[in-house]
Amino acid sequence: MTSIKKQTQVRLEEDVLAAGKAAAAARRLDFNKYVERLIIEDTTGARAAGMTAAQRLIDEHGTFLDDLEHQLDAPYADQRPGAAA
């Protein structure tokens, strides 16, 4: 089944538009597809379900993730600006 796309127009502040385009590019999406996904995720509950899952991951494994981050950052912690690597 193919859907018919409808064209619409929105007005955004320049900085909001720039942030949206950057977010779309980071996800390798064109801006229209990015906006479409945001609307679908918001109206179907997919975004809320993802946020709930992410919070559960943090609640259950947050300490481990924090410790891992500190271990990965440790080799770089003692570097001083301008010091030779």
Per-residue pLDDT reduced to its tens digit, 36-59: 999 988 888 877 788 889 999 999
pLDDT score of 81? 66
Q: Is 74 exposed, middle or buried, given 0-12, 13-18 or 19+ CB atoms closer than 10 A?
A: exposed
pLDDT mean over 4-30: 95
Task: Please report the pLDDT score of residue 16 as a whole number.
Answer: 97
Residues 71, 64: Cα–Cα separation, whole Å? 11
pLDDT score recorded for residue 83: 59
Say how far apart CA 49 and CA 37 lie, in whole Å: 15
Do the beta carbons of residue 34 and residue 20 sit within 8 Å? yes
Q: pLDDT by residue (tens digit) across 66-82?
A: 899 999 988 887 766 66
pLDDT at 33 over 90: yes
Average pLDDT, the chain: 88
Angle at 54 (CA atoms; ends 48, 60), nearest 5 degrees: 135
Between the CA atoms of 1, 21, 29 and 9, what dihedral angle is there, to the nearest 10 degrees?
Answer: 10
